[in-house]
Amino acid sequence: MEIITKTEENKVTMEISGWLDTQTAPQLEEALLGLDDSVTSLVFDFAKLEYISSAGLRQVVAAYKKMSDKEGFKIINVSDEIFDVFRLTGFGQKLNIEK
């Protein structure tokens, strides 16, 4: 997995590619812990994400919770396969996801 972080004022976009699973979820956790408190908006760009496991979902939910009292959290460029995982787990209804 690779994470490319782009910061524009208080908005952070993380482009996540490859597999977000048990092996790579700690890498995303570290990136989230490293976010400055001044960040008010977080966007995950999943255009190049190929697979997400329950460990990956756990980190996505952690990011959502971290941003819940701020401007927002959004997931963009989600493939049909990844979207199905969110839909089947029920997270698709709670999270702001754009295909």
The answer to whether position 28 is within a domain reads: yes
Domain residues for the domain of 22 are 2-94
- Please give the chain's pLDDT, 99 residues, in tens: 999 999 999 999 999 999 999 999 999 999 999 998 899 999 999 999 999 999 999 999 999 998 988 888 999 999 999 999 999 999 888 899 998
Q: How many domains does the chain have?
A: 1
Burial class (CB in 10 A: 0-12, 13-18, 19+), 44: buried
What CATH number is attached to the domain comprising 78?
Answer: 3.30.750.24
- Residue by residue, DSSP assigns 50-89 as EEE-HHHHHHHHHHHHHTTTSSEEEEES--HHHHHHHHHH
The predicted model scores a pTM of 0.94
In a domain, 99, yes or no: no
34 within a domain of the structure (yes/no): yes
